[in-house]
Amino acid sequence: MLAGQQETPLRFLVVGAGAVGGFVGARLADAGYDVTMLVRPRSAARLRDEGLRIASQEQTRLLRPSVVTAGELTPGYDAIVLAVKSDDLEGAMADIEPAV
């Protein structure tokens, strides 16, 4: 990187905001990465209103990640993390097509 340039963080799309996707997304955000969660419309409304709660033995934190639904998805992510149940995989693969 040249002097004076700011490094742009990697952009991650995390598909699914359940226990695994929420945890992975939170850890990536904690590490300074740009994280967007791809979720269903009902989950998107809840996450936008209430945020994402990450509980550990030490604390419970509230995160406010960027949230999109399949219809709002655009390209431009550096990596996609699939964190959905196996019976949702086929639908998730179709949903991420605009981002691939």
Task: Provide mean pLDDT across the span 24-48.
Answer: 93
Tell me whether residue 50 is in a domain: yes
Split at pLDDT 50, 70, 90, the class of 89 is very high
More confident residue, 82 or 61: 82
d(C-alpha 53, C-alpha 38), whole Å: 16
pLDDT per position as a tens digit, 43-53? 999 999 998 88
Q: Look at residue 20 and tell me if it is in a domain.
A: yes
pLDDT band at 8 (very low <50, low <70, confident <90, very high): confident
35: in domain? yes
As a whole number, mean pLDDT of residues 3-20 equals 84
Domains identified in the chain, total number: 1
